[in-house]
Structure 1
Amino acid sequence: MDQPSIEIVEVSPRDGLQNEATPFSTDEKVALIEGCLGAGLRRIEVASFVNPARVPQMADAEAVLARLSPAAFDGAIGLVLNERGLDRALATPLQEINYVVVVTETFSEKNQGASVEENLAMAANVTRRAREAGLRTSITVSAAFGCPYEGEVTPQQLYAIVDQVADLEPFEIAIADTIGVAVPRDVHERMQGVREIVGSRPIQLRCHFHNTRNTGLANAMAAVEEGVTVLDASLGGIGGCPFAPNATGNIPTEDLAYMLSRSGYHLGVDFARLFEVVDLLSQKLPNPVPGLLTRAGMFPALS
């Protein structure tokens, strides 16, 4: 019997690095991306087309893309937050972009300088233009479980946004716990509601969890139990949102891959090569990465 498959979207080159104070050179970013590719990670967030004054770590997006191998573009993803970002992405070989819609007004203004309504209108324009240019568009619904400024986010608030996003017909909708407040019960409830809203439309569902309160891996498994087959993760667990206070810590890719592989899912990941890339990050960053698998080692041990 074939193993069920889970796809990991590697976000360390974008979501991982954007909140790190340690600068990474263009060559180091390219080495990170190519290392992820060599470890079997096929979909990778490689760049963010945002204002370099606001996110300096992402200032060299075009330079990074210019140095990637052709194979990287089969699954490379670029983040865009407005039409200016889309214009930049369209001038590159990227075949996929990700747009972000925030559930709450205050965070939407902080993240993109626009109201939720304005952001949804922009998402419609970006999705349409990207489709006309032959690019796939995924839309991340951010602050889906809680907001750093407004507090609790109700399921009804989330569903109202997902309903409007689904009408734009992206190929994928990602539900993001941007500040790491969710617990598995929340994930079960909200993913069931999201799936009902999407209905029979050909929209893939994906989840993005932060491990801020040490619930990220449990939430990822809850999402899988609800039929989600695509999960975001970041090597070593690095990352966070610069515009969301205390939004630290993505799920460590290697820890997630270990949990899922031991649970009987096929990932296509080479753990030995994955460890090598985590080691590159560990040597560069001033503090140990949050991920635990590279400290404890595989079980059974890698031969």
Structure 2
Amino acid sequence: MIVHRVLRSSMLRKHAICQKPFLYRLLKQESGPRNWPNTVKVVEVGPRDGLQNEPTNVPTDVKVDLISRLVDAGIKEIETTSFVSAKWVPQMGDNREVMKTLTRAPGVNYVALVPNLKGLESAETVQTETIALFLAASESFSRKNTNCSIEESKERARAVLERARAVGMRVRGYVSCICGCPYEGKIEPQKVAQIAKFLYEEGCYEVSLGDTIGTGTPASIAAVLAEVTKYVPADKLALHCHNTYGQALPNIFMGLQMGVNVFDSSVGGLGGCPYAKGASGNVATEDLVYMLHGMGIETGVDLNKIVSTAHFICSTLGKQPQSNVSKALPRL
């Protein structure tokens, strides 16, 4: 038995030694051109998308503390809250208090979701500079989520975009259900492309493509990006991946190879889709950053601080971070 273990250990070490030069060449791209960018922008959606469906009320001061910790960790783009009806999303009922209370650091983009003109008007009262606007690539999801058709949602969006331009607000666009819908199943890439085209042509500075229920795979993500980039440049796109089937990081890797350099993530893997049974949270920020740094891609994010932030907010919620990195690294 002892001899067997020694031989097995020796074989594993030999295998690892043999593989190291190959992996080194792969990461350094010595055998060909590098297929991913040198830098990536991480958009943190935890304070909004991550918390919005949590059943336990999160106090305003905790949300502001969370945002402050994320900024301290190096995050420059943060979804802070959403100006939606407190009747439908109670967790976001303190949207104005959050925006008024947080200390806005130079060079940080604080983004707030607005669904309509009423939400935009509320955002204006607290000097919101950047808003996010959602449209769905699925007719059924649009009706369930916003109580209107895709065409009607476009009209609402036009009104919001026109008003935002008039008051000098920047607008980030989102497309939901790019790979699948909980009601319709598979979504054709052409439908996604048309919504992305609409948002980009109407003035959104960036369009985030959301795999809302996490059914995407590298192949389906590639198909979506191939179609969308016919109308929107890759450097104006972002990917928003949920990890329901454990495909978020492979999907992001595919996005990197196809020219995308902006990715949404949520600290601790918080979040989920209330309209899709079993849909888990967004890809965890710490898992995303670990992978990017391992590829030699700069993010400006301190991994250890993100892990500590994940433990902070998850302990407040009475849960454990839904990320491999937070389990592997000690809380500092």
Could you tell me the TM-score, scaled by structure 2's length? 0.85
Alpha-carbon contact 1:234-1:250 (below 8 Å) kept: yes
Alpha-carbon contact 1:11-1:232 (below 8 Å) kept: yes
Question: Residue 198 in 1 paired to residue 252 in 2?
Answer: no
State how 1:27-66 maps to structure 2 within 5 Å: 27-66=61-100
Question: Residue 221 in 1 paired to residue 253 in 2?
Answer: yes
CA distance in 2, matches of 1:138, 1:239: 20
| Deviation readout 1:194-241 (Å, 9 max, x if unpaired) | 1111259xx711110000111011111111111111100000101013
Aligned equivalent of 1:261: 293
CA change 1:84–1:244 in 2 (3 A) is farther
State how 1:259-298 maps to structure 2 within 5 Å: 259-297=291-329
Range with greater deviation from structure 2 (68-77 or 284-293): 68-77
Alpha-carbon contact 2:311-2:320 (below 8 Å) kept: no
Q: Kindly state the Cα deviation for residue 63 of structure 1 after the two structures are TM-superposed.
A: 0.5
Q: Kindly state the Cα deviation for residue 105 of structure 1 after the two structures are TM-superposed.
A: 1.5
| Deviation readout 1:11-45 (Å, 9 max, x if unpaired) | 00000001211221000000000000000001000
| Deviation readout 1:109-129 (Å, 9 max, x if unpaired) | 111111100101111111121
Range with greater deviation from structure 2 (271-280 or 11-20): 271-280
| Amino acid across the alignment from 1:253 | T
Aligned equivalent of 1:132: 166
Alpha-carbon contact 1:34-1:72 (below 8 Å) kept: no
Q: Kindly state the Cα deviation for residue 287 of structure 1 after the two structures are TM-superposed.
A: 2.6
CA change 1:93–1:72 in 2 (3 A) is farther
Q: Secondary structure at the match of 2:54?
A: coil
Q: Kindly state the Cα deviation for residue 132 of structure 1 after the two structures are TM-superposed.
A: 1.4
CA change 1:143–1:10 in 2 (3 A) is same
Gaps of 5+ in 1: none
Q: Kindly state the Cα deviation for residue 81 of structure 1 after the two structures are TM-superposed.
A: 0.9
Question: Residue 236 in 1 paired to residue 268 in 2?
Answer: yes
Alpha-carbon contact 1:9-1:232 (below 8 Å) kept: yes
CA distance in 2, matches of 1:141, 1:173: 7
Q: Kindly state the Cα deviation for residue 72 of structure 1 after the two structures are TM-superposed.
A: 6.9
Higher-Rg member (1/2)? 2
Q: Kindly state the Cα deviation for residue 167 of structure 1 after the two structures are TM-superposed.
A: 2.3
- Give the structure, 1 or 2, with the largest relative contact order (CA under 8 Å, sep 6 or more): 1
CA distance in 2, matches of 1:193, 1:94: 33
CA distance in 2, matches of 1:115, 1:97: 22
* Coordinate RMSD, CA, aligned: 2.0
Percent identity reads 37
Gaps of 5+ in 2: 1-27, 29-36
CA distance in 1, matches of 2:129, 2:258: 28
| Deviation readout 1:152-194 (Å, 9 max, x if unpaired) | 1011222222232232121111110000000011112211221
Alpha-carbon contact 1:9-1:43 (below 8 Å) kept: yes
Range with greater deviation from structure 2 (269-278 or 116-125): 269-278
Could you tell me the TM-score, scaled by structure 1's length? 0.93
Question: Residue 87 in 1 paired to residue 121 in 2?
Answer: yes
Range with greater deviation from structure 2 (115-124 or 72-81): 72-81
Alpha-carbon contact 2:189-2:224 (below 8 Å) kept: yes
Question: Residue 101 in 1 paired to residue 117 in 2?
Answer: no
CA distance in 2, matches of 1:165, 1:63: 29
CA change 1:87–1:72 in 2 (3 A) is farther
Range with greater deviation from structure 2 (241-250 or 145-154): 241-250
CA distance in 2, matches of 1:192, 1:26: 41
How many pairs were matched up? 297
Aligned equivalent of 2:209: 175
